[in-house]
Amino acid sequence: MRVLVTGGGGFIGGGVARRLLELGHTVRSLARGEYPELANLGIDVRRGDIANESAVESATRGCDAVIHTAAKAGVWGSRIEYERANVVGTRNVIGACHKGGCGLLVFTSSPSVVFDGRHQENVDESAPYPGRFLASYPRTKAEAERLVLEANSPNLATVALRPHLVWGPGDRNLVPRVLERAHAGSLRSVRERSGQSRLVDSTFIDNAVEAHELALQSIARSGTARGKAYFISNGEPLPMEELLNRILEAAGLPAIRRTVSPLMAYTAGAVLECVSALLHRCKEPPMTRFVARQLATAHWFDLSAARRDLGYRPGVSLAEGFQRLEAWLRSTSPGLKAFPWCN
């Protein structure tokens, strides 16, 4: 199969592209940067922006399937930038599939598309989109997911995956952010007065990659998963504080010692957002309202649908994942110099 991976230079996209290549597929990548390491593997690397309609059409031409992982992530930035990358980009991908006769589309979504600020405990895919979002990222990802699922038709089979907190060797987001803040002495645990830290799901990178492969196989051979969204995780929820401490332990750093209440975290997020907006700062504030709510609430999901329809079974446990993470961190140079994207 000839497969285009948008965002092939990213953490999930790169993993998906490599996996598909290993399975014998012909793989093309569309990303904004230069990724010679992908080209050296035999991947057809195209440079372009998914918000550029002609670039997307050119990259999609001749492909049988698209795995659309490209997006503007994070929780801080221009509303227009999020719209451009996540909504316009996804609309371009759908349009390119129709024009180029590409019949399969797997979309990388996020559980945040159904997050309304409250606890998500054993939530399944029947959860509705909220009426109000706390940040541009979940709002635009929800709009993009809707576009993808509504585009499902006899000519274009679509499916959306919602992997939660993807981490592992090569991570450019969660792990480096945790380590950066730990080194800076600014890492805190958000706890209720009872001292309780709510359970959260996370996803080891290999399992997220496997889910994309399974989703592509599923919509290629049957209609069961077509037009549907699926939560993806390791299925091993941990208290948020324990998850962060396991990452710190893998890096040889001490556990979190300081805590703040959910109210204090949310208030700090609101104040810091206002200050950053007034000063026109592009860098994400140390805390935002969305992050405060995420840290203070439970996020774990019912994976029954993914198991039933996709045959999804997480192959790498959290225990094994943390061992692999520790080995990777040991193989990199010490300190934050190993994570230039944090600087």
| Amino acid 273: pLDDT | 66
Greater model confidence, 264 or 240:
240
Question: Within a 10 A sphere around the Cβ of 249, how many other Cβ atoms?
Answer: 15
The answer to whether residue 102 sits within a structural domain is: yes
Does residue 168 come out as left (phi exceeding 0), alpha (psi in the -120 to 50 range) or beta? left
pLDDT at 156 over 90: yes
DSSP H/E element including 156:
none
The answer to whether residue 7 sits within a structural domain is: yes
pLDDT at 339 over 50: no
Q: How far apart are the first and last CA of the chain?
A: 39
Does residue 89 come out as left (phi exceeding 0), alpha (psi in the -120 to 50 range) or beta? alpha
pLDDT at 285 over 90: no
CATH number where 63 lies: 3.40.50.720
Greater model confidence, 225 or 271:
225
The answer to whether residue 290 sits within a structural domain is: no
pLDDT at 266 over 80: no
| Amino acid 76: pLDDT | 65
pLDDT at 214 over 50: yes
The answer to whether residue 23 sits within a structural domain is: yes
The answer to whether residue 281 sits within a structural domain is: no
Rounded to an integer, the average pLDDT of 119-133 is: 94
Label residue 342 by pLDDT band (50, 70, 90): very low
Residues in Cβ contact with 20 at an 8 Å cutoff, skipping those fewer than 6 apart: 3, 5, 27, 67, 213
Sign of the torsion angle spanned by Cα atoms 212, 218, 221, 226: negative
66-125 tens-digit pLDDT: 999 999 987 767 889 999 999 999 999 999 999 999 999 999 999 999 999 888 999 999
26-74 tens-digit pLDDT: 999 999 988 999 999 999 999 999 999 999 999 999 999 999 999 998 7
35 catalytically annotated: no
- The number of domains in the chain is 1
Residues in Cβ contact with 39 at an 8 Å cutoff, skipping those fewer than 6 apart: 45
| Amino acid 335: pLDDT | 45
Closest CA to 187 of 126, 274, 255, 252: 255
The answer to whether residue 165 sits within a structural domain is: yes
Label residue 336 by pLDDT band (50, 70, 90): very low
User: Of the listed 35, 82, 137, 312, which one is catalytic?
Assistant: 137
Sign of the torsion angle spanned by Cα atoms 27, 46, 138, 261: positive
| Range(s) of the domain holding residue 229 | 2-172+202-235+299-316
290-321 tens-digit pLDDT: 777 777 789 999 999 999 999 999 999 999 99
Structural contact between residues 222 and 156, judged by C-beta atoms closer than 8 angstroms: no
The answer to whether residue 332 sits within a structural domain is: no
